[in-house]
């Protein structure tokens, strides 16, 4: 075999071997950007431990604790209303988020704001959740990216089921990478089309997507409904 034929055969083999990998990457949701990135959105603290959520000096458990945020507070209503501490997020890094301006929503707690850390610090995204009024979750933080979650009949991701069962993986600008773990048979799932790409890389029964139109109003929808 001549040298040119050998090179051509080698190149063809390399392309064939790399094709499945490229396809697999294109069929999964894009991960959060590496390193610290700037972002801007409102989030809610989903911690249920009575001791509250630790706020750290940096993005990781190796950083010292600088304060705590209170856990979810349940009202005496039937069914009870969940009141979560509200925070403003300004950066994300490796599944951690820099928060500030923590506060109770006194309309929900029906009481004065609880003592809490009000400075700037970092908390784990596993203990944060958001409301999104987006009609679709995207493969990448881009409005033109393929939809991997689609709300049917105008449904969005600001309902209680999504807020209570969401956790944050990353962010980019006004986009947030959210992973959901709704119970099997949840009525909320009947209004959402979940494509295989949303499940790729997630634990069994969970799915993820990039969402925008984040709503920081806890007691009602952002349009006042």
CA dihedral (133, 136, 140, 146) in degrees, to 10, reads -160
Contact 55, 65 (CB under 8 A): yes
> Within 10 Å of residue 125's Cβ, how many Cβ atoms?
27
Question: Which residue did the predictor score with more confidence, 3 or 159?
Answer: 159
Spatial strand order of the sheet with 121-124 comes to: 65-69, 53-56, 121-124, 96-103, 86-93, 37-45, 128-129
Which alpha helices (H) appear in the chain, and where do they start and end?
3-26, 106-109, 160-164, 196-199
Please give the structure tokens belonging to residue 149: 């979650």
Question: Which residue did the predictor score with more confidence, 17 or 53?
Answer: 53
The rounded Cα 111 to chain-centroid distance in angstroms is 29
Across-strand partners of 214? 132
Q: 110 vs 90, 101, 104, CA distance in Å?
A: 28, 20, 10
Please give the structure tokens belonging to residue 72: 């979810």
Question: Which residue did the predictor score with more confidence, 88 or 12?
Answer: 88
Please give the structure tokens belonging to residue 167: 């956790």
CATH number of the domain at 37-128, out of 3.30.2390, 3.30.70, 2.30.30, 2.40.30?
Answer: 2.30.30
Using the Cα atoms of residue 164, residue 166, residue 171 and residue 173 in order, give the sign of their dihedral.
negative
Using one digit for the tens of pLDDT, what is the confidence trace for 38-71? 999 999 999 999 999 999 999 999 999 999 999 9
pTM: 0.86
Degrees, nearest 5: CA angle 63-175-158? 100
The structural domains of the chain, with segments of one domain joined by +, span 37-128, 129-215
CA atoms of 225 and 221, how far apart (whole Å): 5
Q: Rg of the chain's alpha carbons, rounded to an integer?
A: 21
Please state, for a pLDDT cut of 90, what percent of the chain lies above it. Answer: 68
State whether residue 5 is helix, strand or coil.
helix
Tokens 């392309």 label which residue? 15
CA atoms of 164 and 158, how far apart (whole Å): 10
CA atoms of 109 and 70, how far apart (whole Å): 12
Tokens 């590496």 label which residue? 34
- CA end-to-end distance (rounded Å), the chain: 73
Using one digit for the tens of pLDDT, what is the confidence trace for 117-150? 999 999 999 999 999 999 999 999 999 999 999 9
């Amino acid at each position: 075999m001549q040298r040119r034929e050998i090179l051509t055969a080698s190149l063809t083999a390399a392309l064939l071997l790399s094709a499945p990998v490229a396809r697999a990457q294109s069929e999964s949701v894009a991960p959060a950007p590496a390193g610290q990135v700037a972002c801007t959105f409102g989030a809610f603290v989903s911690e249920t431990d009575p001791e509250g959520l630790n706020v750290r000096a940096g993005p990781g458990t190796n950083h010292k604790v600088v304060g705590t945020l209170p856990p979810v507070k349940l009202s005496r209503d039937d069914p009870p209303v969940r009141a979560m501490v509200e925070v403003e997020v300004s950066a994300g890094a490796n599944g951690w988020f820099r928060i500030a301006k923590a506060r109770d929503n006194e309309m929900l707690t029906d009481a004065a704001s609880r003592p809490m850390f009000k400075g700037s610090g970092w908390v784990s995204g596993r203990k944060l959740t958001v409301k999104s009024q987006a009609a679709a979750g995207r493969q990448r933080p881009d409005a033109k990216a393929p939809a991997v979650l689609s709300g049917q009949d105008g449904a969005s991701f600001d309902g209680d089921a999504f807020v209570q069962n969401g956790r944050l993986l990353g962010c980019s600008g006004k986009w947030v990478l959210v992973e959901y773990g709704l119970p099997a048979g949840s009525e909320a799932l009947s209004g959402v089309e979940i494509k295989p790409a949303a499940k790729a890389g997630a634990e069994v029964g969970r799915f993820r997507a990039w969402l925008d139109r984040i709503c920081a109003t806890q007691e009602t929808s952002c349009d006042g409904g």
